Amino acid sequence: MILFRQVRYQLMLFFRRPAAMFFVIIMPVVLLALLTQILGNEAIPGEWVSTAQFYTPALAVFGVVSACYIYLAVSTATSRDQGVLKRIRGTPLSPTVYMTARIISVSIIAFISAIIVIAAGVYFLDVEMLWEKFAAGCVILFVGGLTFAALGLAVAAMCRSSETVQAVVNATLLPLAFLSEIFIRPGRELPDWMVRTADFFPLKHFGVAFGNAFRPSLDGHGFTFGGDDTVFTIVPELTVMAIWGIAATLVAVRFFKWDYKL
């Protein structure tokens, strides 16, 4: 099958890029180890979760976003700069199949990254898996990965070179990761403008939804449409991510060019 072969080819390209492998797969695990060593792995006051129980899902999200947003955007723009995308258009291979293979491959990479981070937390840092919330967690990862893949392609569509794309994705992800409390333990009071800014973007909703799947204090399986602060629900966060994903898809479809030299 052509799609399967293209997915395998894209995966092969990724695993032949040591720098990409390090930042997407290894870096989240390294950050998890460092943060739990620096901050300790005791229960966070008022949260009923340990440091590892909080940072494991947060850094799994960071790994997914690194794959679906940064790696997809930069690798796509680099292929365009090198003329690969232009040559693809001159072959019988459907552009839709080619781009679908790219998205599927980064989704697989993101899933691998998340699994490695979670496995490290479970086996080395006593992170508890809440199996009643497992299905909701998988849905969050799936929707979040597709959302940030769409955003990555939208950035690649709006920028003319891989250097510009790399600057944009790094300049947007790292500040938003701090604003979205990916790297900040609960209990820290952020200024109101930071909270409002983070609430507007999808990264915070991704991190909150997946992090709640690891919070024993929350009741429910996640697939509920209402409740209070003690009930686990993913519907509000999924709605925000879906809106961003649809908007980014429309931008990517409208503005993406296979060769900016044309």
Instruction: Show Cβ contacts of residue 241 under 8 Å, excluding neighbours closer than 6 positions.
Output: 143, 144, 147, 202, 205, 206
Q: How far is CA 67 from the centre of its chain?
A: 7
Model confidence, pTM = 0.95
In a domain, 127, yes or no: yes
Range of the domain at 120: 2-255
Instruction: Show Cβ contacts of residue 10 under 8 Å, excluding neighbours closer than 6 positions.
Output: 101, 102, 105, 106
Per-residue pLDDT, averaged over 105-134, amounts to 96
In a domain, 134, yes or no: yes
In a domain, 178, yes or no: yes
pLDDT at 227: 64
Cα 71 to Cα 230: distance, rounded to the nearest angstrom: 36
pLDDT at 260: 73
pLDDT at 22: 96
Cα 190 to Cα 36: distance, rounded to the nearest angstrom: 21
Per-residue pLDDT, averaged over 34-40, amounts to 91
pLDDT tier at 217 (50, 70, 90 boundaries)? confident
Domain count, the chain: 1
Q: What tens digit of pLDDT does each residue of 141-191 get?
A: 999 999 999 999 999 999 999 999 999 999 999 999 999 989 988 777 788
Whether the CB-CB separation of 252 and 150 falls below 8 Å is answered with yes
In a domain, 260, yes or no: no
In a domain, 221, yes or no: yes
Per-residue pLDDT, averaged over 180-203, amounts to 88
Looking at the predicted structure, is the pLDDT value of residue 64 above 70?
Answer: yes
In a domain, 262, yes or no: no
In a domain, 138, yes or no: yes
